[in-house]
Amino acid sequence: MGAMRIATLTSGGDCPGLNAVIRGIVRTASNEFGSTVVGYQDGWEGLLADRRVQLYDDEDIDRILLRGGTILGTGRLHPDKFRAGIDQVKANLADAGIDALIPIGGEGTLKGAKWLADNGIPVVGVPKTIDNDVNGTDFTFGFDSAVSVATDAIDRLHTTAESHNRVMIVEVMGRHVGWIALHAGMAGGAHYTVIPEVPFDISEICKRMERRFQMGEKYGIIVVAEGALPKEGTMELREGEVDQFGHKTFTGIGQQIADEVHRRLGHDVRTTVLGHIQRGGTPTAFDRVLATRYGVRAARACHEGQFNTVVALKGERIRMISFDEAVGTLKKVPMERWVTAQAMFG
């Protein structure tokens, strides 16, 4: 295929490495095919509203490699609005002379991408999630950065917990899957880790901490995924207030586990909620390489006519998988990984 006009956009929560993908697309399009790239701003919304910028293969694009976030901005559009706008999307792409679209996003974005592909738009998807929960790919970019930030934090908390004879609870991201908790817990030498895939038993957690203190250890570190839930009937959760988004919240699960461990053991227990720092900032070298390779492969897929596909890492190679392989279910932590993590507890 000759030179093309490719469009890209980033959608959903931001993620370290988004800019590296964009750079990878722009450079490959330019260097290998003499093609041009435009970016739609603020996700699907920008595509609908035709807010686009030309992305030149220049010094500016070169520099974004190590910048967190996304130069295109991101957004969350309700699927209904998105679907209702299909004619507008088609018109916008046609008017701008776009030959192929590369949406970069998570589960929701890829579903939207598949729907566009089903409606005849030439699409190549790039999976993006710090949660690492996309099927068909060994890793998603952003995950390694999130784990690194969480691990740095846990490293710091060890010494403060130890100096004060404390149990320290670290709540990390992961509403539906425990990948960040599992990896950060393993990398940070946590003494227990709680993931959404395995409902926790508060008695078991207390027993573990108690045994540590009995053996003369002075402290304990527990990593908790924000989506962790107790085994039915083992612990009642307090609900919280209604937040600015109108959602009823419950006080963070980390704090609730902390309060209960304190109530049962009497020990000083503190909670740290890592929050947004896990998804911002410079990507790790690992994520920059992975994101760059995704960008290169996506740009090539467009020129090779491999539409209706998603880039994925399998072992040492980047391969194209189908939307159906990528979306539909979340990639959860398998039981064997959980058992391996447990071997390190104690």
DSSP class of residue 92 equals H
User: What binding mask, one character per residue, do residues 49-68 give for its own copies by CB under 8 A, x or -?
Assistant: --------x-x--xx-xxxx
Whether 77 has a binding-site annotation, put simply, is yes
From 48, 153, 172, 177, residue interacting with its own copies (rule: CB under 8 A): 153
List 165, 203, 234, 329, residue binding its own copies (CB under 8 A): 165
**Is the Cβ of residue 115 or residue 345 nearer to its own copies in the bound state?**
345
Q: What is the CA radius of gyration of the chain?
A: 22
Euclidean distance between CA atoms 256 and 181, whole angstroms: 17
Site string for its own copies, 274-313 (x = CB under 8 A): -xxx-xxxx-xxx-xx--xx--xx----------------
* Token duo for residue 307: 């539409």
Subset of residues 204 to 263 that bind its own copies, contact rule: CB under 8 A: 217-218, 243-244, 258-259, 262-263
Least distance from its own copies to the Cβ atom of residue 106, Å: 14
The least CB distance from residue 119 to its own copies, in Å, is 28
The H-or-E segment that residue 206 falls in is helix 202-214
CA distances from 116 to 40, 82, 87 (A): 15, 10, 11
Q: Is 24 in the site for its own copies (CB under 8 A)?
A: yes
Order of strands, sheet of 192-194, starting from the edge strand that comes earlier in the sequence:
192-194, 220-225, 167-172, 269-273
Tell me if 270 is assigned to a ligand binding site. Answer: yes
Burial class for 37, CB neighbours closer than 10 Å (0-12, 13-18, 19+): buried
Residue with tokens 């410079």: 282
Question: Residue 175 interacts with its own copies (CB under 8 A)?
Answer: no
* Site membership for its own copies, residue 79 (CB under 8 A): no
- Six token digits for residue 301: 């897929």
Catalytic residue list contains 155: no
Output 92 or 271, the one with its CB closest to its own copies. 271
Asked if 159 is part of the footprint of its own copies (rule: CB under 8 A), the reply reads yes
Smallest separation, CB 107 to its own copies (Å): 18
Interface with its own copies includes 346 (CB under 8 A)? Answer: yes
| Contact in structure between 178 and 333 (CB atoms under 8 Å) | yes
Q: What angle do CA 15, 20, 25 make, to 5 degrees?
A: 120
Q: How far apart are the first and last CA of the chain?
A: 58
Which pair of structure tokens corresponds to residue 201? 């038993």
Catalytic residue among 42, 131, 133, 144: 131
CB 281 within 8 A of CB 16: yes
Q: Quick one: tokens of 290? A: 């992975």
Determine the size of the site formed for its own copies (CB under 8 A). 89
The answer to whether 279 is annotated as binding is yes
Do the annotations mark residue 276 as ligand-binding?
Answer: yes
257 is in an annotated binding site: no
Binding-site residues for substrate sit at: 129-131, 166, 173-175, 226, 270, 276-279
Binding-site residues sit at: 13, 76-77, 106-109, 129-131, 166, 173-175, 226, 270, 276-279
Binding-site residues for ATP sit at: 13, 76-77, 106-109
Positions marked active-site: 131
